[in-house]
Amino acid sequence: MTTNIETFQFQAEARQVLELMIHSLYTNKEIFLRELISNASDALDRLRFEALSHPELISADDKLEIWIESDSMARTLTIHDDGIGMSRDEVIANIGTIAKSGTRELLQTLREKQSSEGLGTLIGQFGVGFYSAFMVADRVTLVTRRAGESDATQWDSTGDGTFTISAAAKFNRGTSITLHLKKFEEDAEVEDFTDKWVISRIVKRYSDFVAYPIIYKEKDAKEPDKPLNSMKPIWTRPRSEVTAEEYKEFYKHISHDWNEPMETWPFRAEGRSEYRALLFIPSQAPLDLFYATGKFGLHLYVRRVLIMEHCEELLPGYLRFVRGVVDSADLPLNVSRQRLQEDRHITQIRKWLTKKILDSLEDMMKSESGKYGEFWKQFGRVLKEGVSFDFENKDRLLSLYLFESSYDGEKPTTLKDYVSRMKETQSAIYYLTGPSRRAVEHSPHLEAFQERGYEVLYLVDAVDELLIQGLPEFDGKNVKSVGKGTADLGEEKDLKEKTPGYSSLIEVLAKKLEDRVKEVRLSSRLTASPACLVVSDHDVSPNLEKLLNQMKGDGSKQKRIMELNPNHEIILKMRDRAEDAMIDDFAELLFGYALLAEGSDLQDPLKFNQAVMRVLAKTI
Ligand code: ADP
């Protein structure tokens, strides 16, 4: 065998992650073993899956196993699997690079937080599990051979910024990872990872449910021991027999999340079809929840054989944050990814799971409202996508939604509770969309509604604009924006009578602002402010216009309607001075004021500024 050794640099993010591992003060170092066993188990799953279409990859007497071997003299620990293995290129890509989206941002937060909890999230969410070996080892050697290929590859690193790749002689398919453990100090809090009892305890604790035997072998021992793990698929066991700890570890295994789940839901369907599911709600939304590159979907098993790791078809998109496994007895083992979408069983499972999840969320909302609030903070934005896509469950979804509102400070409300608080004279459910709570709650559009004690919902998520378009009414009540159309507060007659007195002001303002405003009219919407801008009932809100423009990268503006408060001092004075020489500047200032007051940007800051200067100079 030639020993042509090539040296590579770790990619920048990988280097930073490694550095974190090497200098980690994270006390729970034993989890490195869980990570490596998890990778070994994934590799065996993949082999079994590929063998469905390439049976030659596995022979009949192949035992699919994971071996752990320790040598206390040499202080090495080796984890073997005879799984799918890696080609040379795969080793370089998988173990030298982290191209996963969000790693950089996460590293940044981590640096700011400096917490070991953050380290856990980092390793978990971004699949840097392999590198956790460097928490306990000062050198790691990996030898691997891809199933179906004849060449083996060796990877070596001390984690110092480079790794080497060379050809290796390897017996059979699969991967062996040898850790050269850091010096063992009796008094340090780290355990001796070459000790059989230590290993056996760690495996039991974290990896008991792994579906392949995990076998321990001491160096020079003649007979290997019996498997350390029970291998029983956790979702087939009755809930009463599984400990909370076991559920948590299983969750961590499948989700690659180091945090504990917020909820664990085992479901079981019996009758004509038989499926089981074990679902989890994470306690924190992953960073890639809204990235197109985010990987979601449940693990799909058919009679306990893993068929697919990320089966997105099993849940509607708005439930993509749910993790877990589904096991079905009805699907064929060789179900193909392309056919999944039309598969009758899959559709049926999706329906069933959706119902189960919504049931459980309703229960949580009823009996644990604090927890539900926490859930909503993490995943509400995703759940809100549902109402536009899932017509069948629209009403159930609406009852699960929480909204900020003018009612009770920070506490969000359901639509049902909103309706229960509606005033007798109130004819609609009112809302205002905008970029942030601060922007909407100070908007002049709210004034008259608030004065009457009418509650207004603050819709400040981007997805709310979509949601509200699919929600013309709720519980028989119209849903209406306070920034659209006429205010309809029962004062139309009064306004009509007042209007002639303002006709020259209205005319002048309409003329001066004609490139930006399509109509000027009196309004009952305002109490404290002189003017505001609204759109017609069927126009897009300024907030949505801004979002759309950001996407398109242009800044075109639809013309708005300017509403005047006939009782405001400024408007009363302007009415009497509609012919004033400064009316141009007054118009400019009034328009700019209205934009700023609702949280929008000035369209022409220069023009506005010049008007400010002229008016100041005149009046000072
Ligand atoms: P993750 O497992 O979360 O993807 P890791 O850093 O642990 O992240 O591993 C990176 C990749 O390296 C894996 O996705 C897999 O492709 C490959 N890999 C790691 N360990 C093994 C193994 N024992 N056998 C085959 N491939 C492996």
Please report, for the domain that includes residue 272, its CATH number.
3.30.230.80
**Ligand 1, atom nearest to 38 Cα:** 2
| Beta bridge mates, 283 | none
Q: Indicate whether 416 belongs to any domain.
A: no
Distance 39 CA to ligand 1 centre (A): 5
Q: Are residues 198 and 244 in the same domain?
A: no
Q: How many residues does the chain have?
A: 620
Pocket test for ligand 1, best of 94, 103, 179 (most atoms within 8 A of CB): 94
Q: Indicate whether 157 belongs to any domain.
A: yes
Q: Are residues 174 and 204 in the same domain?
A: yes
Q: Indicate whether 418 belongs to any domain.
A: no
Pocket test for ligand 1, best of 38, 39, 48, 257 (most atoms within 8 A of CB): 39
**Ligand 1, atom nearest to 128 Cα:** 6
- The average pLDDT across 529-545 equals 90
**207: amino acid identity, one letter:** S
pLDDT in tens, 151-189: 999 999 998 889 999 999 877 899 999 999 998 776 666
- The average pLDDT across 16-33 equals 77
Nearest residue CA, atom 10 of ligand 1? 94
Q: Are residues 209 and 64 in the same domain?
A: yes
Q: Indicate whether 524 belongs to any domain.
A: yes
Q: What is the pLDDT of residue 30?
A: 85
Measured between alpha carbons, how far is 43 from 229 in angstroms, rounded to an integer? 18
Locate 332 and state its tokens: 């064929």
Q: Could you tell me the CATH number of the domain that includes residue 512?
A: 1.20.120.790
| Beta bridge mates, 539 | none
Q: What is the pLDDT of residue 18?
A: 81
Locate 597 and state its tokens: 């007051």
**Ligand 1, atom nearest to 39 Cα:** 20
Q: Indicate whether 278 belongs to any domain.
A: yes
Pocket test for ligand 1, best of 20, 42, 91, 254 (most atoms within 8 A of CB): 42
Among 218, 250, 284, where does a domain finish? 218
**Range among 171-185, 246-260, 505-519, 573-587 rated most confident:** 505-519
Measured between alpha carbons, how far is 408 from 280 in angstroms, rounded to an integer? 32
Q: Indicate whether 421 belongs to any domain.
A: no
Asked whether residue 115 carries a pLDDT value surpassing 60, the answer given is no
Q: Are residues 247 and 285 in the same domain?
A: yes
pLDDT in tens, 41-66: 989 989 988 998 899 999 888 889 99
Q: Indicate whether 453 belongs to any domain.
A: no
Q: Are residues 136 and 204 in the same domain?
A: yes
**Ligand 1, atom nearest to 129 Cα:** 7
**Among candidate residues 594, 446, 448, the one with its CA nearest the CA of residue 527:** 448
What's phi and psi for 321, nearest 5 deg?
Answer: -80, -10
Q: What is the pLDDT of residue 35?
A: 85
Distance 214 CA to ligand 1 centre (A): 18
Distance 420 CA to ligand 1 centre (A): 54
Among 171, 193, 218, where does a domain finish? 218
Asked whether residue 125 carries a pLDDT value surpassing 60, the answer given is no
Longest distance between any two alpha carbons in the chain, whole Å: 106
CB-CB neighbours of 153 under 10 Å: 24
Nearest residue CA, atom 4 of ligand 1? 127
Residues with CB under 6 A from ligand 1: 35, 39-40, 43, 81, 83-86, 94-95, 127-130, 175, 256
Instruction: Give percent of the chain with pLDDT exceeding 90.
Output: 57
Distance 66 CA to ligand 1 centre (A): 15
Q: Are residues 214 and 345 in the same domain?
A: no
Locate 433 and state its tokens: 């969309």
Distance 94 CA to ligand 1 centre (A): 7
Cβ-based burial of 409 (10 A; exposed 0-12, middle 13-18, buried ≥19): exposed
Q: What is the pLDDT of residue 116?
A: 54
Q: Are residues 138 and 181 in the same domain?
A: yes
Domain that holds residue 595: 492-535+548-619
Q: Indicate whether 121 belongs to any domain.
A: yes
Q: Are residues 36 and 171 in the same domain?
A: yes
Q: Could you tell me the CATH number of the domain that includes residue 36?
A: 3.30.565.10
Nearest residue CA, atom 9 of ligand 1? 130
CB-CB neighbours of 82 under 10 Å: 25
When divided into structural domains, the chain yields a total of: 3
Q: What is the pLDDT of residue 100?
A: 53
Distance 90 CA to ligand 1 centre (A): 10
Mean pLDDT score of the chain: 88
Distance 293 CA to ligand 1 centre (A): 18
Q: Are residues 150 and 272 in the same domain?
A: no
Distance 598 CA to ligand 1 centre (A): 51
Nearest residue CA, atom 25 of ligand 1? 85
Q: Are residues 203 and 248 in the same domain?
A: no
Distance 595 CA to ligand 1 centre (A): 53
Instruction: Compute the chain's Rg from CA coordinates.
Output: 32
Asked whether residue 97 carries a pLDDT value surpassing 80, the answer given is no
Q: What is the pLDDT of residue 421?
A: 94
Q: What is the pLDDT of residue 439?
A: 85
Asked whether residue 93 carries a pLDDT value surpassing 60, the answer given is yes
CB-CB neighbours of 592 under 10 Å: 20
3-state secondary structure of 179: strand
Q: Are residues 311 and 190 in the same domain?
A: no
Measured between alpha carbons, how far is 389 from 394 in angstroms, rounded to an integer? 8
For 480-521, give the DSSP string: EETTBS---SS-HHHHHHHGGGGHHHHHHHHHHTTTTEEEEE
Among 349, 371, 393, where does a domain finish? 371
Distance 151 CA to ligand 1 centre (A): 19
**Ligand 1, atom nearest to 131 Cα:** 6
Nearest residue CA, atom 20 of ligand 1? 39
**Ligand 1, atom nearest to 174 Cα:** 24
Distance 175 CA to ligand 1 centre (A): 10
Q: Are residues 519 and 604 in the same domain?
A: yes
pLDDT in tens, 562-594: 999 999 999 999 999 888 888 999 999 999 999
